[in-house]
Amino acid sequence: MSDKYDVVVIGSGPAGYVAAIRAAQLGLKTACIEKWKNAEGNGVNGGTCLNVGCIPSKALLDSSFKYHEAAEGLAIHGISTSGVAMDIPAMLERKNKIINQLTGGIVGLFKANGVTALYGTGKLLAGKKVELTDNDGAVSVIDADNVILASGSLPIAIPVAPVDDDLILDSTGALEIGEVPKRLGVIGAGVIGLELGSVWGRLGSKVVLLEALDDFLAIMDKAIAKESKKIFTKQGLDIRLGARVTGTQIKGREVEVTYQTSAGEELKETFDKLIVCVGRRPFTDGLLSADSGVEVDERGSVFVNEFCATNAPGVYAVGDLVRGPMLAHKGSEEGIMVAERIAGHKAQMNYDIVPNVIYTHPEVASVGQTEEQVKAAGEPYNVGVFPFAASGRAMAANDTDGMVKIIAHADTDRIMGCHIVGPSAADLTQQVAIAMEFGSSAEDLGMTVFGHPTLSEAVHEAALAVNGNAIHIPNRKRR
């Protein structure tokens, strides 16, 4: 392949395809390489997120929640149902249809913006050259002025629970379970474990989550984590903390799991299916030649500066490959930033305001600092909390679990963090993220007119509560 490109992107997940589109929009001759293949063996864009991550898991979460509501949640509204059943193959077919729509949409976006789509495996060589091994095995070398590495991440495998894609599954295999397991084990009670556990728990599985850490959702604000655990336990998820899995054994069509508690007790549980969800690792396998000049740490993360530039001139890395949380939206914004900087713009990204969401029901979402982080930094702060149990809109929807928590600096009143467990937490948190981006104070949010009745009013009341001015709950005594 003799063509030279201004930008070559390796990977077309949320970080890669967005970077490629933005680069092309800015007039740069751009190519994007993707190794992913669909069931028919054809190259397909979208990476983990669209194919086996964010999108398919949300499709299953939505389908399973609608089933659960129809089967158990409508009587309070005066709606009687009987004989409600879930057609698992139909649920999976719907999920696959959504995937095909969205991945096909990227093809259309590439064409509309002039991005050259290449299918195969990309490898960075020295001097910003990219070796492309296409899906037929043909090898060529592409010259580039700039290279953006966006190859994403893979599920972490653990030796004590080797994935066999039958009884022991990773997060990818868990999206293809063809029938509801009576007993489902999940190793890891983080974001992915909770979401997948919720799907199958709603459909009738007895779900046990084995979490090695003693703290639940350790990355979240402790008050929100505590409230979330209470809600999920009430829903039937059996969350066992301080439970380190030490071994698994296949016995017929069952998996026997041995785990050790924090107290040193050894216990066993037997499951019909076991999902391993202990995190993800950067996917750098075969990505870099030894002389590429790009440095990688012991975890496989690519070293970059605040603008996602590697130590190799003209080479950038974005998304799950680099430091920070592995979030699709974080990667997308990094991709845009890098494309704009290559084009000569002074783009930057505010890493302090990256929302984090768990798409259970209720959702759990956060942006900014937790109370524990603020306290550890020695900053003076005030907290405002408002429960959804006091929200008229939440009551009308029979969706009152959870609360909104806002943290603001005690001297400047600047919002430092927002943490929500409750209905539409992801969208509500985004409202506060916008406010934080503009340096808003809790008073600014408190002075903003919110529509009534809305779930957003819980954000409004929490902002008022920061300074002891909440209307619809008694105010806490100020410190």
CA 338/CA 345 separation, integer angstroms:
9
134 close to 42: Cβ distance less than 8 angstroms: no
pLDDT at 476: 81
Residues in Cβ contact with 464 at an 8 Å cutoff, skipping those fewer than 6 apart: 384, 442, 446, 470, 471
- How many CB atoms are closer than 10 A to CB 478? 8
Output the tens digit of pLDDT for each of the chain's 479 residues. Answer: 457 999 999 999 999 999 999 999 999 999 999 999 988 889 999 999 999 999 999 999 999 999 999 999 999 999 999 999 999 999 999 999 999 999 999 999 999 999 999 999 999 999 999 999 999 999 999 999 999 999 999 999 999 999 999 999 999 999 999 999 999 999 999 999 999 999 999 999 999 999 999 999 999 999 999 999 999 999 999 999 999 999 999 999 999 999 999 999 999 999 999 999 999 999 999 999 999 999 998 888 999 999 999 999 999 999 999 999 999 999 999 999 999 999 999 999 999 999 999 999 999 999 999 999 999 999 999 999 999 999 999 999 999 999 999 999 999 999 999 999 999 999 999 999 999 999 999 999 999 999 999 999 999 999 999 999 999 999 987 65
Residues of the chain with CATH 3.50.50.60: 4-155+281-342, 168-278
Predicted model pTM = 0.96
Strand, coil or helix: 73: helix
274 close to 169: Cβ distance less than 8 angstroms: yes
Q: What is the DSSP letter of 72?
A: I
CATH superfamily of 4-155+281-342: FAD/NAD(P)-binding domain (3.50.50.60)
Assigned token pair, 172: 């990818």
Residues of the chain with CATH 3.30.390.30: 356-466
Report the CATH number of the 168-278 domain.
3.50.50.60
CA 117/CA 12 separation, integer angstroms:
9
Residues in the chain: 479
pLDDT at 1: 47
E strand or H helix that includes residue 30:
strand 30-34
CA 202/CA 196 separation, integer angstroms:
10
The whole-angstrom distance between residue 153's C-alpha and the CA centroid of its chain comes to 12
99 close to 56: Cβ distance less than 8 angstroms: yes
E strand or H helix that includes residue 239:
strand 238-240
- How many CB atoms are closer than 10 A to CB 305? 10
pLDDT at 478: 62
Q: Would you name the residues annotated as active-site residues? A: 452
CATH architecture of 356-466: 2-Layer Sandwich (3.30)
Q: What is the DSSP string of 143-210?
A: EEEEEEE---EEEPP-TTS---SSSEE-TTGGGG--S--SEEEEE--SHHHHHHHHHHHHTT-EEEEE
328 close to 54: Cβ distance less than 8 angstroms: yes
